[in-house]
Amino acid sequence: MLRYEENATKTLKAIIEFCAKIERDLKTDLSGNIRSINVTELNALLTSVPELCRASIVEAGKGKEISDIDARLAKIAPSISAASQSIPHVKTEADVRNNARSAISAAKKVIIDIDEVECPHCSGRGQKGLGGSLCSYCRGSCFVSNAEANAYAPDKLDEQDCPRCGGRGQTGFVGDLCSYCGGDGYVTEQEVEDYDPALLDEVECPHCNCHGQYGRNSTICAYCGGSCFVSKPVAKEYNRTQIDEVECPRCGGAGQTGRVGDFCAYCNGAGIVTAKEAEDYDPALLDEVECPHCNGHGQYGRNNTTCAYCGGSCHVSKADAKEYNRNDIDEVECPRCGGTGQTGLVGDPCKLCDGATVVSRQEKSAYIEKYG
């Protein structure tokens, strides 16, 4: 559609081809979501047809040089336009597909003779990669002749995966275009041979060591902004003390608390806070207190059994702490080891509680019934 101003008739021709392709795809057994997307796209394409038809008629009347096919397509544009909007306010898939078939049928006698198929190298997009470079096979036309499509051999094109980005066209965590291929994802064989990272004006970010983020919650690096790399002058100017980040006083920079990796309640997993936040830190203001069941240990027993109340977090909310009732938890002192978790003179794990020091009430009753 972005080619509309350049050549409305060619765009109209491409739109009709795309509609025909989607209509063919809809005849297959597509999943619900994919089918819905195709129908939506088909309807959007059909909506553009009337305006393109009007533009192609104006274009044909300007006297500029156009192909015979373009001239014939412009001549039947009114019937294509009428067919594409034969049912106003389209709502159902059947309506959309009927409109598409009508428009395709109206244009068929012209476009059926067109010797072109979607470019096999760019899949009809006319571009490759993220940098907007024109496809090296169709040169941006989106289509090639059947003969060209049959002769297509990707290994004969002078295109290699970019050694900088591995063919992705971007680096870092925020979608920066690769500094070597410009976002295309590929370079020539000669450029692969000439590639030297030292010649690029970028080095690993000294603040995040090229990770682009840090902390348990993947906080974006405050220096490179998630790019993972910075320019050499920027790296040279790096001063850790100028960045307003200090270790979180709650988790000591770990980003987590407890035995099960809970995100720190103060830094939310980042591991760092601002100097002001560190200064304002007051544990009493956090909605968490030591678990009353395990006394903040998160586990108990000789086998490190996870606390049944806090689940290993070591802390609970103030409301949960207030509602705590030891009798609500199905745990009692193991009758075999007396709650020590071990038996004998050498500290063997208790065979009943396996070292946990506690058992369920049912287990205790069964043990007493059998052994007294």
Q: Are residues 18 and 79 located together in one domain of the fold?
A: yes
pLDDT value of position 65: 57
As a whole number, mean pLDDT of residues 248-263 equals: 93
Given a cut of 60, whether residue 302 has pLDDT beyond it is: yes
Q: Evaluate the CA torsion angle 258, 262, 267, 270 in order and state its sign.
A: positive
pLDDT value of position 66: 58
> Look-up: residue for tokens 């309506």?
95
Question: In this structure, is residue 14 part of a structural domain?
Answer: yes
As a whole number, mean pLDDT of residues 229-253 equals: 95
Q: Are residues 12 and 102 located together in one domain of the fold?
A: yes
Q: Are residues 177 and 163 located together in one domain of the fold?
A: yes
> What residues are paired with 213 via a beta bridge?
220
Domain extent for 367: 330-372
- CA–CA separation, 180 and 162 (whole Å): 8
pLDDT value of position 36: 86
Q: Are residues 195 and 184 located together in one domain of the fold?
A: yes
pLDDT value of position 37: 86
State which of 61-65, 101-105, 113-117, 241-245 shows the largest mean pLDDT. Answer: 241-245
Q: Are residues 103 and 75 located together in one domain of the fold?
A: yes
Q: Are residues 107 and 42 located together in one domain of the fold?
A: yes
Question: In this structure, is residue 132 part of a structural domain?
Answer: no
Q: How confident is the model at residue 3 (pLDDT cuts 50, 70, 90)?
A: very low
Q: How confident is the model at residue 90 (pLDDT cuts 50, 70, 90)?
A: low
Q: What angle do CA 172, 174, 176 make, to 5 degrees?
A: 65
Q: Which segment of 62-66, 172-176, 321-325, 361-365 scores lowest on mean pLDDT?
A: 62-66
Question: In this structure, is residue 128 part of a structural domain?
Answer: no
Q: Are residues 12 and 110 located together in one domain of the fold?
A: yes
pLDDT value of position 27: 81
Given a cut of 50, whether residue 2 has pLDDT beyond it is: no
Domains contained in the chain, number: 5
As a whole number, mean pLDDT of residues 161-168 equals: 94
Question: In this structure, is residue 126 part of a structural domain?
Answer: no
pLDDT averaged over the chain?
A: 87
Residues near 55 by beta carbon (within 8 Å), at least 6 away in sequence:
4, 8, 12
Contact present, 254 and 276 (Cβ < 8 Å): no
Q: How confident is the model at residue 83 (pLDDT cuts 50, 70, 90)?
A: confident
pLDDT value of position 55: 79
Question: In this structure, is residue 192 part of a structural domain?
Answer: yes
Question: In this structure, is residue 27 part of a structural domain?
Answer: yes
Domain boundary, last residue among 48, 79, 114: 114
User: 81 or 337, which is more confident?
Assistant: 337
pLDDT value of position 87: 55
Question: In this structure, is residue 35 part of a structural domain?
Answer: yes
Q: Are residues 183 and 247 located together in one domain of the fold?
A: no
Q: Are residues 70 and 12 located together in one domain of the fold?
A: yes
Which tokens belong to 295?
A: 């006394």
Q: Are residues 217 and 313 located together in one domain of the fold?
A: no
Domain boundary, last residue among 199, 231, 262: 199
As a whole number, mean pLDDT of residues 342-350 equals: 93
Question: In this structure, is residue 1 part of a structural domain?
Answer: no
pLDDT digits (tens, 9 = 90+) for 179-215: 999 999 999 999 999 999 999 999 999 999 999 998 8
Q: Are residues 260 and 352 located together in one domain of the fold?
A: no
State which of 66-70, 81-85, 362-366 shows the largest mean pLDDT. Answer: 362-366
Given a cut of 60, whether residue 28 has pLDDT beyond it is: yes
Q: Are residues 168 and 248 located together in one domain of the fold?
A: no
Given a cut of 80, whether residue 113 has pLDDT beyond it is: no
pLDDT value of position 51: 81
